[in-house]
Chain A
């Protein structure tokens, strides 16, 4: 093979379209011809740089939420009748401060004493499923944010007179705190907090998980803490307790990625 035969084949060769025998023949020429080798390297370089330059654009979280919101069936039964519960598709921010609950003083006390003490997610039955389903609904629904990030203090303060438990937002590595709103899980008032990690949305919900039971086979011990990891509808949902509050984390990342996220953000219990 001569250079003039090889040159028109460079693209096809670099694109990996030749079979093994054919490639062998081309590589024989390449090993003997530094000129063509250089051109092949140049083309490989080009392809790699082109990809690097254009990849890494991730679909905006809003787009993702909008598409999934139109595709997935919402779980709205029962909830609409409860006037203390937000309709899932509600478009407007809710009444602020109209929530019955503890006084600000009582909440301050609560958050003071609720030092991050570890409570095992009670092992046993299968009461988690509605919680997991609803956590995914909140994650995929395109609900308006009522308080915007990125300052976690601002969001934690906003919830003070709205929920009856202390809000301590976990700090995730490389995460952008988008904002938060009131939500509900199993007719319990919950805080919904949205993060963006490298273009992937992570939804964290905080709620009172008293009486919440988790199937033992879903429980993993991560850095001394029992965490329930559940895969459903392509989403990974993690449930854990921290400082007497139950946290759900929902995202479409792998279980390993979720584990990584959890071990970096929740310190080991005392």
Chain B
């Protein structure tokens, strides 16, 4: 399987990538790790006339600490995230999520920015960045702009990113000491993508849930926070009984879609099961 022909250009800076996007209008696409785009191009589901490779753009790489946040370049690979000592120390939820994506080869090529720009409904990062309240830092012809993650995911494969913008960095507030976390996924047995994945962040004060944040990916067109579950947990004892009670609300009004592997009904059932599991794992980490 060979993609349709295209013109290939290497961008050396974000500014150059933006001006190339402007110059080619809707005919061009950015290329990051290529692990979503190239498979689509091989199937000819996507046929961009121009590919703008972000590979050489140094400023899009690397992870650094800035105040109480960790700032991650869009071109950072899943493997670099999963093995970064800084990410593992300050945002272990994101490292745990990155480590569960696909397989080693996919993690060696795929990037954080590519995954968040692509917004595959079965991608893993969306649930993690939603509970972490990340900020998406983009650059376009009009300059830089920051989009809070709560406004990022618009629909299946659709984000708030404009066609002539590059997602440059993801700014993630560091997790606080004593906060529990977990990313729990059910991988599709063939592809490794999430049938569903649940991200949890849990703050507990003297045995009582002070704040719980829960998000789910894979079940519907886009990843979502689960506010009903979060509200039901606030102020409750941090124990299995209240987690089980709150997790029942995970499927309440959840927009689940049937796919070849699982029915919407089964996914709604799994949402409650995985929410409870995720909360229990997060609680274990509070206690550690």
A and B interact: no
**Chain A residues engaging chain B, CB cutoff 8 angstroms:** none
Residues of chain B touching chain A, judged by Cβ–Cβ distance below 8 Å, are none
